[in-house]
Structure 1
Amino acid sequence: MSRFARGVVLAVASLGLVPAVCPGVALPAGAMARAAERAPVEGTWEGAIELPGIKLGISVRLTEKDGVLSGTISIPDQGAKDLPLDKASRDGDVVTFAIKGVPGDPTFRGTLMPGGATLSGEFTQGGAVFPFTLRRDSATNDAAALEGFEGWVDGAMKAWGVPGMAVVIVKGERVVLSRGFGSRDVEGGKPVTDQTLFAIGSSSKAFTCAVLSSLVDEGLLRWDEPVRTWMPDFSLSDDEVARRLTPVDLVTHRSGMPRHDLMWYNSPYPRSELVRRMRYLPLNKGVRESFQYNNLMYAASGELIARVTGRTWEDETRARVFEPLGMTRANFGVVDSQRDPDHALPYREDEGSTVRMNFRDISNVGPAGSINASAADMARWAMLQVSSGEVGGRRVLSADALRSMHTPRMHVEAYPDMGKSGSVMLGYGLGWFIESYRGHVLVHHGGNIDGFSAMVAFLPREGWGIVVLSNLNGTPLPGLVVRHAADRVLGLERRDWSGEGLAEREAAKALQKDSEAKKESVRKSGTSPAHPMEAYAGDYEHPGYGTARIELKDGRLHITLNNITMGMEHWHYEVFNTLKNPGEAVLGDHKVQFITGMDGEVEALRTQTDPLVELTVFTRRPDAELSDPAFLERLAGDYQLGPQRVTVLVKGEGLAVSVPGQPSYDLVAKRHRTFELKGLSGFSVVFTVEGSGKASGLRFLQPNGVFDAARVE
């Protein structure tokens, strides 16, 4: 202690006083106060006092409890260690402390600079004044900030019933935490590690935007040119929208198309066919008019990548992102993950119990959400986001491209409830949501797919990246873990995010239970279907959504769409209600209305496929025999209708009928050997066929009567 005093006094005696050095550019008082509020002073600070001709190294550890500041100081060059501080205080951005029991009242008075990483000002002793600068010791402070974090995660997982979780936290290119929690396989008792593969769901979208950004950097693509520049066959239900849509519109959810997720979910169609069928899906907004989250547009982005490069989205993502970053375990589908010995199994919560789910292959919309990765893989991805596009000395994206991805491109309508969440949504960038979180820029994107929930987030200005992967369906816990971790590393007052979330969940459950109890109140009692159950059975088609199959099994109707089958109960009149299937996330409690035609036959069904557009109509598919060329030949021929001879002939893949003095009419196949006359509403013909021979006659059904005609040999 006395040795430190003598060293400083000798320096002053021999060289005289040194003018105080200005600690930095002054900010307005209000701005400095706000910066100080955001920047904690707790932690270890390393630096030096600038004495004449030398820099005297010091290490200061500050702690703050109940508003009282205390700490210690060490001066390695003088053999002083952990000397107690005295008169430590903080007034906004100004921090003051002295060394207890040392002659000359050695005192530090410094300013905490914006960002909270530097404390600089004046050191005084015995009337002498010297500048000093202290900077946070990142490793020590980071460890202190996360002290108790792992225990908090364990407790939160238990409270939320989450089987397994992997968490990685990085600071710049340094991994601060990377570990697994809980079980990847509950039944097998297998633990999660930072190498365990999880589905990351929609957190995949930013990878797609990274590939597109690299193509833009290379001049192979332009964000604001029409998509049709590279995909001339790209079509939507509104051709003007399709003509104007650009790549940046595809990935910022501003195409004018609502989600239409039932079109792709569990669909058997490949990505190219999904994109082709988008032309049959109704839009509800104009282009760039409103933010509407849309996975199909990311599927289209994947096809765009393929058209531009001649290689698949998977190949380009692997070559442009995975390989340069060293993401050696990442893949593009749950089928691949299941071949890996260290993969997480998917689970869901059911009345307080954890139940296994089936893996869901969504590779047809892979660019929107099919990537699987480990926490160790995602650490590299997070480093990229906070390191200007370069990791380990290897440039993956240009700094401009990365900055562009993190810049809001589309307004997202969200009420800025600062009291509840401390957040203000700033908008959606290229594969990322951007918000102001308690005064800090937070960039993030979650991901949810059957049995898995994820959150990828980072604080670009502070250089922190946080990734949370879990194997429970639809749990909000990854997002809550991110916010809890952010509060810690930013030194903010910690909120009970888990407790608040649990309270909200219980309130939502109570509301859902109450609403389910009331659903019968809107059901019309005492009604019956208009047809026998077997009359509804058949295939119903929509050019975008595909085939909805209605089958009668054990006296109950069942509906199958995209290989997902649900039982149905009669609701009222011609409306049926699908029964919930715990293993499926869609189609439960879904109303299906059957439509009867003028001929008394069930001709269509309609149901809600997206709440933002009108009900979708699926038209009943004609009987299979009515498209069989051999059967159509049996119907062709001449028929005598009173004094006129009517001719039925095979035309292409269908039939046409010719009546003297009238134009020829194409016949549109229906059911029960019935065809409608195309272009004539209310006119149809029914063929009489017995056994395996030719039709013996036909009957014209018209608004003014029924007319029979016999075959003429």
Structure 2
Amino acid sequence: MKRVFIFFAFSLLFTTRGWAQATGRSTFLRDSLDIYVNKALTQWRVPGLAICIVKDGRIVLMKGYGTRELGLQERIDENTLFMLGEITEAFTTTAFAKLEANKTLSLNDKITRYLPSFKLDNKASEVTINDLLTHRAGFKTNQGNFTFYNTSLTTQQVIDKIGHIKPVYPFRATYGYTNSAYAVAAEVIPKVTGRPWYIYLKESLFIPLGMNNTLPLSQELPLVLNRTVPHTIVEGRLTPIPYPQLDNLAAGLSISSTMGDMSKWMMALLNNGKVGARQVIPEIAIKTTLHELTGNQPSASTQENEQFGLGWFLQDYAGRNLVMRNGKVSGYSSSITLVPQENLGILIMTNTDKNELPEALRWQILDTYFNFPYHNYSDSYLDRYKANDANEQQVKRRMRDSVFLNPPPAQALVNYTGRYVNDVYGHVNVSVGEGNTLEMRLEHHPKMFVKLQPMGGNRFYATFSEPIYGKSAFTFVYQAGRITSVRIKVSDAVETDAYDFKKID
């Protein structure tokens, strides 16, 4: 899943403290980092964190903090696995750039050359590999994510359903992040190599780089002993949650890795693709992914001074080019940053999705290396996070208060029951639940249900059994003496738009 990157620290730097240099900032990593991180883990309620810094071709810092799972004393070491989320995209784009460097394909090739059945709002014949990898197909950020994320759909079913989605924006008019775009693009790889995406990544990147612990598919993570457990906040409490199943969107989300393996990845990228004397990744491929703004027209800019290239956000910071990526999926939040001019790489991984510490710590470390005056980014990010969370909780309290008044629904509960269908998602079933409630089951989320409590009229307070989908108000439509449809809304973190389902029985 993608949250649009808000370059909070960049504006903070200019509005709070200027560019004056500080004395002794280089001692932060040696003398203060442990205190800073341990305090931040408590404040953010993060069970475990891994941090790795590489500089000038060597590992400067590799350290784990906290624990792999809340309540257990299992320490995090250099081989402990975390899910990377959208950081996966950088591996996929590097694989494509490598194939282009070897003349196997061109990023400007039309997708339909390899996937003739691909459909996209009458624009399929124009869509290139590059359009999908730079998120310029016209979709709104996270459009379709409710249908695709952590569902039982296969990758081919995801691709088929994309043909039913109406893009919000004109083709190539603007940036709109969608995991499904990478799912489509990755299906080109077996067409040109004879190997699926995950096998090609293993053979062309992981094995040559010595990334022996890295897993390309989410289904593999629960089978490994040295792994973290995902966590989130449920009803104000930090709690472990099941591992998300993301292999239908694998090329954009599913990789899990370790500090040890990611140090090798960062050093190879910063060394123009070389590992020792071996050229594992062609230098031209590194240039394509790290330096060229492949989506550099104004329409591809997501923030001022920020561009999205091939799987990376590219940003100027105090005259230095930053190459960055955040990753966030159910139970995990991470960030990776490269500064090619400084030969510097920073990785932070956490095993909860309810924190922004990886971003805050990124800027803390960058400022240390750039010798900028000290500012506690974790505190600033936390203040903003708490303010936003308080607003969200207030909205939820208002909805819960409506439920506690025990208002009768406009119709007998049985009148809301039945089967509802949406052209993109598929169908859901509504039945009478325990007490004065309804229960909804969803076709492509077989392990999830939604509890619906009357709020008065035809509105119901919806609580998803999987926390990431949140809580919201569902509205049923009553026309011509019967219930005709229901509008379903999930958390904005999954998808911002609602889905309308038509009642069919």
Output the TM-score relative to the length of structure 2. Answer: 0.86
Picking from 70, 84, 104, the partner of 1:186 is: 70
- Matched residues in 2 for 1:537 and 1:573: separation? 16
From the two aligned structures, give the one with the greater helix fraction. 2
**Contact 1:566–1:587 under 8 Å retained in 2:** no
Picking from 263, 283, 291, the partner of 1:379 is: 263
Distance apart, 1:276 and its partner CA: 1.0
Distance apart, 1:39 and its partner CA: 11
Distance apart, 1:414 and its partner CA: 5.2
- Matched residues in 2 for 1:351 and 1:543: separation? 33
Q: What is aligned with 1:481?
A: 361
Q: What is aligned with 1:577?
A: 461
Identity of aligned residues (%): 23
**Contact 1:149–1:485 under 8 Å retained in 2:** no
- Matched residues in 2 for 1:505 and 1:473: separation? 13
Q: What is aligned with 1:250?
A: 132
Find out whether 1:448 has 2:328 as its counterpart: yes
Find out whether 1:391 has 2:275 as its counterpart: yes
Q: What is aligned with 2:170?
A: 286
Q: Which secondary structure does the structure 1 equivalent of 2:373 belong to?
A: coil
Instruction: Provide, for residues 222-264 of structure 1, a one-character-per-residue CA deviation record: whole Å limited to 9, x for no partner.
Output: 112221111111102x11x222111111011111112221011
Q: What is aligned with 2:416?
A: 536
Higher Rg: 1
Distance apart, 1:321 and its partner CA: 1.1
Q: CA distance change for structure 1 residues 501 and 572 in 2, over 3 Å: closer, same or farther? A: same
Q: What is aligned with 2:152?
A: 268
- Matched residues in 2 for 1:146 and 1:436: separation? 27
Q: What is aligned with 1:591?
A: 474
**Contact 2:47–2:352 under 8 Å retained in 1:** yes
Q: What is aligned with 1:158?
A: 42
Distance apart, 1:521 and its partner CA: 10
Q: CA distance change for structure 1 residues 607 and 338 in 2, over 3 Å: closer, same or farther? A: closer
Q: What is aligned with 1:73?
A: none
User: Where in structure 2 are the equivalents of 1:482-497 lying within 5 Å?
Assistant: 482-497=362-377
Q: What is aligned with 1:560?
A: 441
**Contact 2:471–2:490 under 8 Å retained in 1:** no
Distance apart, 1:345 and its partner CA: 1.0
Distance apart, 1:552 and its partner CA: 1.5
Instruction: Provide, for residues 544-594 of structure 1, a one-character-per-residue CA deviation record: whole Å limited to 9, x for no partner.
Output: 21221212222421112222211012234333331254x421152142424
- Matched residues in 1 for 2:302 and 2:128: separation? 25
Unaligned residue ranges in structure 2 (runs of 5+):
1-17
Distance apart, 1:145 and its partner CA: 5.8
Instruction: Provide, for residues 25-48 of structure 1, a one-character-per-residue CA deviation record: whole Å limited to 9, x for no partner.
Output: xxxxxxxxxxxx9897x9xxxxxx
Find out whether 1:359 has 2:230 as its counterpart: no
Distance apart, 1:453 and its partner CA: 0.7
**Contact 1:345–1:356 under 8 Å retained in 2:** yes
**Contact 1:167–1:194 under 8 Å retained in 2:** no
Q: Which secondary structure does the structure 2 equivalent of 1:191 belong to?
A: coil
Q: What is aligned with 2:97?
A: 213
The one-letter code sitting in structure 1 at the alignment partner of 2:76 is V
Find out whether 1:326 has 2:210 as its counterpart: yes
Picking from 309, 315, 320, the partner of 2:193 is: 309
Output the TM-score relative to the length of structure 1. Answer: 0.62
- Matched residues in 2 for 1:528 and 1:350: separation? 28
The one-letter code sitting in structure 2 at the alignment partner of 1:446 is N
Distance apart, 1:522 and its partner CA: 10
**Contact 2:183–2:252 under 8 Å retained in 1:** yes
Q: What is aligned with 1:368?
A: 252
Picking from 228, 240, 250, the partner of 2:112 is: 228
Unaligned residue ranges in structure 1 (runs of 5+):
1-36, 43-63, 67-140, 417-424, 622-670, 672-713
User: Where in structure 2 are the equivalents of 1:516-527 lying within 5 Å?
Assistant: 516-518=396-398
- Matched residues in 1 for 2:81 and 2:413: separation? 46
The one-letter code sitting in structure 2 at the alignment partner of 1:385 is L
- Matched residues in 2 for 1:176 and 1:462: separation? 13
Find out whether 1:405 has 2:286 as its counterpart: no
Tell me the matched-pair count.
475
Find out whether 1:203 has 2:84 as its counterpart: no
- Matched residues in 2 for 1:144 and 1:188: separation? 30
Distance apart, 1:614 and its partner CA: 7.2
- Matched residues in 1 for 2:498 and 2:348: separation? 38
Distance apart, 1:595 and its partner CA: 5.2
Q: CA distance change for structure 1 residues 336 and 620 in 2, over 3 Å: closer, same or farther? A: same
Greater CA drift, 438-447 or 530-539: 530-539
- Matched residues in 1 for 2:42 and 2:500: separation? 45
Q: What is aligned with 2:500?
A: 617
Q: C-alpha root-mean-square deviation of aligned residues, in Å?
A: 2.8
The one-letter code sitting in structure 2 at the alignment partner of 1:577 is Y
Q: Which secondary structure does the structure 1 equivalent of 2:375 belong to?
A: coil
Of structures 1 and 2, the one with the larger relative CO (CA 8 A, separation 6+) is 2
Q: What is aligned with 1:606?
A: 487
The one-letter code sitting in structure 1 at the alignment partner of 2:91 is F
Q: CA distance change for structure 1 residues 517 and 615 in 2, over 3 Å: closer, same or farther? A: closer
Instruction: Provide, for residues 431-478 of structure 1, a one-character-per-residue CA deviation record: whole Å limited to 9, x for no partner.
Output: 001112233211111111111111011111111000111111231101
- Matched residues in 1 for 2:294 and 2:370: separation? 27
- Matched residues in 2 for 1:594 and 1:333: separation? 41
**Contact 1:213–1:401 under 8 Å retained in 2:** yes
Instruction: Provide, for residues 640-675 of structure 1, a one-character-per-residue CA deviation record: whole Å limited to 9, x for no partner.
Output: xxxxxxxxxxxxxxxxxxxxxxxxxxxxxxx5xxxx
Q: Which secondary structure does the structure 1 equivalent of 2:486 belong to?
A: strand
